[in-house]
């Protein structure tokens, strides 16, 4: 018997309001679990589809709010992933195997910040850049840990908005959700 | 582990959400966090004293990598923990050795803070480690060890954001304390040099070809990786006073900002880092001229060191030439996700001893840098404020501002 996961809290419970939201793959759309289509390739991120999906999901979310770059104000970036980019992590581990030529591009993919740098540069996001690994995460949902971290970033005051991207690697492919968050009015 | 269980907003995470305050608003003096516990393991040895001695005298701790085969690499040196400090858990590429050294650092910090079981029972633990297939197992081992030895509820949050991971955790801990959500928060971090990351850093030409880490120096060729674990206990000043805890330093300010420039290259003029520094100064209500020492990110990278120097010139203006600057990475190496906490430990220790870390490995001045580097030791100083800076891939920048106790 599979345990029912506890209900996920709403952003409002953390004093957050959702300005925009995007899910990739979109339910029922090409690229959804079980379908072959992948998100658009992201130059330099060749070892797996994880980072291209993160970028594509964030792109949809930011477009829904701002239309086109740049985003106004100060926006923090927060990437939450329990699984991390497993395929790239394995590629990095294998890089040290005897006789194997190490791909130089794996260097900047060795941590989760790199894709956030791509998004920040494209959209002019000048707030804090943060990556966390929640203990519990349901693919396609925003973990409570990430909402809590986003609320803390806004409380600190180095950004007025937080672009939170939750991404997970699953046996059926990668799943991501992005939400653009701001503090609820006092 | 008993981490942030998603059972609802009332029990999850770091506490009930609060309202934001104005950007970089000064923190009221009574709410400012202080550091009351500190533990560290580094290539210089076990504990803070050997690390401070190495930093004060510029004794670099780099040596040949013998833990794994580096014959195919351009660079073959790193700053590794002495073998006797590694836990007897094998294999070395498994999660347990890293958890072991992190738990050792946590133990040092809790003992130094004279923390009681009751005080540790609700203690949030923020952990900074590398994101890979071992992250979960390492976290569970740290959570289990912390719960068993100190009664803390587990690991509250795991930070994986590269070279600012630990500084981000420190800033979050400061916010949790300064906003009254928690009286004290433990921040821990660890990194062990392992073959895969070493190989890709080498392939990416990030490592020093000449086997020396020479921050801001003419002829610098890159960085060198390091083993380290560190832990600090950050506590509300009134709570520390009530329980009679000795204060090691005040965490007077903190700031975070992004470059919005590139996936891995720094913004060449250091605008992002300068905004992070200004944010830290604003929270402390401190003027740039009151800063008397900077422990710079200074990885030894040609581009990143220059961008950081430009950020310092932008913030400190004419004061820059007299401002003592060094990168303690030149002694203990670059511990990636743990680097910011290791450097915070060095900076706190230096405020205590009055001996600034030496910028080791310098071959000569780079005319584009123009910083007042601490080139010889011991260098005695009693700065009112000291900055510890870090930058990372993704254009992430952090500034932590410390004041003597």
**Any domain includes B18:** no
Q: Is the peptide bond before B91 cis (omega within 30 degrees of 0)?
A: yes
Of B131, B77, B168, nearest to B391 (Cα)?
B168
Whether B224 and B213 have beta carbons less than 8 Å apart is answered as: yes
Does B14 fall in a domain? no
Cβ of B161 within 8 Å of Cβ of A112? The answer is yes
- Is residue B152 included in any domain, yes or no? yes
A–B: how many Cβ contacts below 8 A? 265
Q: CB-CB: which of A132, A135, A147 is closest to B159?
A: A132
Name the nearest CA neighbour of A184 among A140, A150, A142: A150
Residue A110 confidence (pLDDT): 85
What is residue B356's three-state secondary structure? strand
- The pLDDT confidence band at residue B13, using thresholds 50, 70 and 90, is very low
Residue B403 — φ and ψ, nearest 5°? -130, 145
Contacts of B337 (CB under 8 A, 6+ apart): B128, B129, B130, B159, B160, B161, B162, B163, B165, B166, B189, B190, B191
Range of the domain at B175: 29-209+226-242
Planar angle of CA B326, B329, B334, nearest 5 degrees: 150
Of B3, B256, B29, B43, nearest in space to B138 by CA: B3
CA dist B174 and B253 (Å) reads 9
Query: With the CA atoms of A36, A40, A45 and A47 taken in that order, what torsion angle do they form, in degrees rounded to the nearest 10?
Result: 10
Are A133 and B131 a contacting pair at CB < 8 A? yes
pLDDT in tens, B53-72: 999 999 999 999 999 999 99
For an interface test with B, which of A42, A110, A134, A159 has the most B Cβ atoms less than 10 Å from its Cβ? A110
Contacts of A9 in chain B (CB under 8 A): 6, 8-9, 12
The C-alpha atoms of residue A12 and residue A37 are separated, in whole angstroms, by 34
Q: Which of B242, B266, B284 is the last residue of a domain?
A: B242
Question: Chain B contacts of A104, Cβ < 8 Å?
Answer: 200, 203-205
Q: ipTM above 0.90? A: yes
Q: Which of B7, B22, B133 sits opposite A157 (nearest CB)?
A: B22
Domain check: are B235 and B295 in the same one? no
For residue B59, the domain's CATH number is 3.40.47.10
Question: Does A96 sit within 8 Å of B198, measured CB to CB?
Answer: yes
Instruction: List, for residues B174-210, the tens digit of each pLDDT value.
Output: 999 999 999 999 999 999 999 999 999 999 999 999 9
Q: Is the dihedral of CA A137, A141, A144, A147 positive or negative?
A: positive
SS3 B253: strand
Among partner residues A106, A144, A157, which is closest to B203 by beta-carbon distance?
A106
Are B85 and B182 contained in the same domain?
yes
Phi, psi torsion values for A181, nearest 5 degrees: -120, 150
Chain A from 98 to 117: CB within 8 A of any B CB: 98, 102-108, 110-117
Cis ω before B247 (30° cut-off from 0): no
The whole-number pLDDT of residue A1 equals: 41
Look up residue B375 and give its DSSP letter.
Answer: -
* Per-residue DSSP letter, A138: -
Angle at B120 between CA B115 and CA B124, to 5 degrees: 125
Interface of A with B in 124-143 (CB under 8 A): 124-136, 143
Confidence of residue A29 (pLDDT cuts 50, 70, 90): low
Which CATH number is associated with domain A17-183? 3.40.47.10
Q: Cβ–Cβ of A186/B19 closer than 8 Å?
A: yes
A158–chain B Cβ distance below 8 A for any pair: yes
* Chain B contact for A69 (CB, 8 A cutoff): no
Ordered by start, the domain boundaries in chain A are 17-183
Tell me if chain B has a CB within 8 Å of the CB of A14.
Answer: yes
Contacts of A94 in chain B (CB under 8 A): 196
Residue B28 — very low, low, confident or very high, per pLDDT cuts 50/70/90?
Answer: confident
What is the C-alpha to C-alpha distance for residues B394 and B162, in angstroms, rounded to an integer? 9
Q: Cβ of A120 and B14 within 8 Å?
A: no
Cα atoms found within 13 Å of the Cα of residue A45, Cβ hemisphere only: 27
Partner-chain residue, chosen from B21, B165, B262, that has the shortest CB–CB distance to A117:
B262
**B57 in the same domain as B152:** yes
- Report the pLDDT value the prediction gives residue B93, as an integer from 0 to 100: 59
C-alpha count within 13 angstroms, C-beta hemisphere, residue B362? 22
Q: Give me the number of domains chain B comprises.
A: 2
Our CA-based measurement puts residue A67 at a distance from the nearest CA of chain B, in whole angstroms, of 18
Q: Which residues of A touch B5 (CB under 8 A)?
A: 6, 135-136, 144
Mutation for testing the B interface, residue in A13, A82, A86, A130 having most B CBs under 10 Å: A130
On the CB side of B15, CA atoms within 13 Å amount to 20
Nearest Cα of chain A lies from the Cα of B357 at a distance, in angstroms, of 28
- Cα gap A5→B181, rounded to integer Å: 27
Q: Residue A19: how many CA atoms within 13 Å on its side-chain side? A: 22
Q: What is the per-residue pLDDT for B277? A: 98
Task: Identify the residue with better confidence: B379 or B9.
Answer: B379
CA distance B391 to chain A (A): 10
Nearest CA in chain A to B261: A121
Cis peptide before B52 (omega within 30 of 0): no
Span A125-179, pLDDT tens digits: 999 999 999 999 999 999 999 999 999 999 999 999 999 999 999 988 999 999 9
Residues on chain B touching A162 (C-beta within 8 angstroms): none
Q: How far is Cα B9 from Cα B17, in angstroms, rounded to an integer?
A: 9
Q: Give yes or no: residues B66 and B147 share one domain.
A: yes
- Distance in angstroms (rounded) separating the CA atoms of residues A38 and A28: 14
CA of B396: which chain A residue's CA is closest? A129
A146 touches chain B (CB under 8 A): no
CB distance B302 to B220 below 8 Å: yes
DSSP string spanning A57-123? Answer: HHHHHHHHHHSSSPPPS-EEEEEE-SS--HHHHHHHHHTTSTTPPPPGGGTGGGSTHHHHHHHHHHH
B327 domain residue, yes or no: yes
What pLDDT sits at residue B31? 81
Say whether B13 and A186 touch across the interface (CB within 8 A).
no
Cα nearest neighbour of A79 on chain B? B161
Q: B3 in a domain, yes or no? A: no
Strand, helix or coil at B226? strand
Chain A residue closest in CA terms to B256: A128
Mind listing the pLDDT tens digit for each residue in A52-73?
999 999 999 999 999 999 999 9
Q: Please give the Cα distance from B100 to B102 (Å, whole number).
A: 5
From chain B, pick out residues whose CB is under 8 angstroms from the CB of A151: 17-18
Q: What is the pLDDT of residue A8?
A: 61
pLDDT at A23 over 70: yes
Nearest to A136 by CA among B120, B140, B134: B140
A103 → chain B, closest CA residue: B203
Mean pLDDT of A64-84: 97
Q: Give Cβ neighbours of residue B99 (< 8 Å, ≥ 6 apart).
A: B138, B141, B142, B145, B190
DSSP assignment of B158-222 equals: EE--GGGHHHHHHHHHHHHHHTTS-SEEEEEEEE---HHHHHHHHHTT-B-TTS---TTBTT---
User: Could you read off the pLDDT of B123-136 as tens digits, one per residue?
Assistant: 999 999 999 999 99
Q: pLDDT for A107-129, tens place per residue? A: 988 899 999 999 999 999 999 99
Task: Report helix, strand or coil for B325.
Answer: strand
Query: B243 and B237 in contact (C-beta within 8 Å)?
Result: no
Considering only CB atoms, which chain B residues are within 8 Å of A133? 131, 135-136, 139, 158-160
Whether residues B201 and B258 fall in one domain: no
Tell me the per-residue pLDDT of B274-321, one tens digit each, with 9 for 90 and over: 999 999 999 999 999 999 999 999 999 999 999 999 999 999 999 998
Choose among B5, B179, B260: nearest Cβ to A126: B260
């Amino acid at each position: 018997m599979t345990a029912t996961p506890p209900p996920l809290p709403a952003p409002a419970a953390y004093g957050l309001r959702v300005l925009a939201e995007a899910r990739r793959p979109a339910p029922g759309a090409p690229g959804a679990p079980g379908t072959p289509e992948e998100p658009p390739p992201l130059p330099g991120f060749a070892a797996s589809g994880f980072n291209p999906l993160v970028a594509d999901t964030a792109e949809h979310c930011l477009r829904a709010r701002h239309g086109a770059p740049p985003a106004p104000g100060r926006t923090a970036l927060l990437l939450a992933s329990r699984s991390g980019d497993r395929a790239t992590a394995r590629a990095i581990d294998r890089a040290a195997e005897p006789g194997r030529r190490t791909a130089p591009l794996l260097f900047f993919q060795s941590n989760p910040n790199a894709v956030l740098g791509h998004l920040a540069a494209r959209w002019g996001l000048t707030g804090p850049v943060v990556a966390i690994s929640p203990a519990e995460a349901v693919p396609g949902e925003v973990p409570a840990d990430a909402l809590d971290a986003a609320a803390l970033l806004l409380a600190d005051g180095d950004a007025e908005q937080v672009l939170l991207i939750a991404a997970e690697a699953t046996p059926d492919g990668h799943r991501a959700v992005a939400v653009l968050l701001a503090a609820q009015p006092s | 582990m008993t981490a942030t269980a998603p059972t609802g907003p009332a029990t999850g995470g770091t506490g009930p959400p609060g309202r934001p305050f104005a950007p970089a608003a000064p923190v009221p003096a009574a709410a400012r966090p202080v550091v009351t516990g500190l533990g560290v393991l580094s290539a210089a040895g076990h504990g803070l004293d050997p690390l401070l001695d190495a930093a004060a005298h510029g004794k670099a701790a780099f040596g040949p990598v013998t833990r794994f085969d580096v014959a195919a690499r351009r660079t073959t040196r790193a700053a590794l923990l002495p073998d006797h400090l590694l836990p007897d858990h094998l294999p070395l590429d498994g999660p347990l050795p890293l958890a072991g050294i992190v738990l050792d650092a946590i133990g040092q910090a809790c003992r130094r803070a004279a923390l009681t079981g009751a005080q540790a029972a609700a203690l949030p633990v923020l952990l900074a480690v590398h994101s890979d297939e071992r992250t979960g197992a390492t976290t569970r081992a740290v959570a289990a060890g912390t719960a068993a030895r100190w009664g803390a509820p587990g690991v509250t949050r795991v930070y994986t954001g590269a070279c600012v991971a630990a500084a981000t955790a420190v800033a979050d801990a400061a916010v949790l304390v300064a906003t009254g959500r928690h009286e004290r928060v433990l921040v821990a971090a660890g990194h062990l040099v392992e073959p895969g990351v070493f190989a890709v850093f080498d392939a990416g030409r990030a490592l020093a070809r000449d086997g020396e880490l020479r921050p801001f120096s003419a002829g610098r060729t890159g960085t060198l990786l390091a083993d380290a674990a560190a832990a600090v206990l950050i506590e509300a000043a009134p709570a520390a006073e009530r329980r009679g805890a000795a204060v090691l330093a005040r965490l007077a300010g903190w700031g975070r900002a992004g470059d919005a420039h590139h996936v891995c290259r720094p913004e060449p003029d250091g605008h992002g880092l300068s905004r992070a520094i200004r944010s830290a100064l604003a929270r402390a209500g401190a003027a740039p001229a009151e800063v008397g020492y900077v422990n710079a990110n200074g990885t030894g990278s040609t581009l990143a060191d220059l961008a950081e120097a430009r950020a310092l010139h932008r913030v400190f203006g004419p004061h820059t030439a007299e401002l003592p600057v060094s990168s303690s990475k030149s002694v203990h190496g670059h511990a990636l996700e743990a680097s910011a906490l290791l450097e915070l430990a060095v900076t706190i220790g230096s405020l205590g001893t009055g001996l600034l870390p030496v910028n080791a490995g310098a071959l000569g001045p780079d005319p584009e840098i123009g910083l007042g580097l601490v080139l010889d030791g011991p260098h005695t100083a009693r700065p009112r404020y000291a900055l510890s800076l870090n930058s990372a891939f993704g254009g992430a920048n952090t500034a932590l501002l410390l004041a003597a106790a």
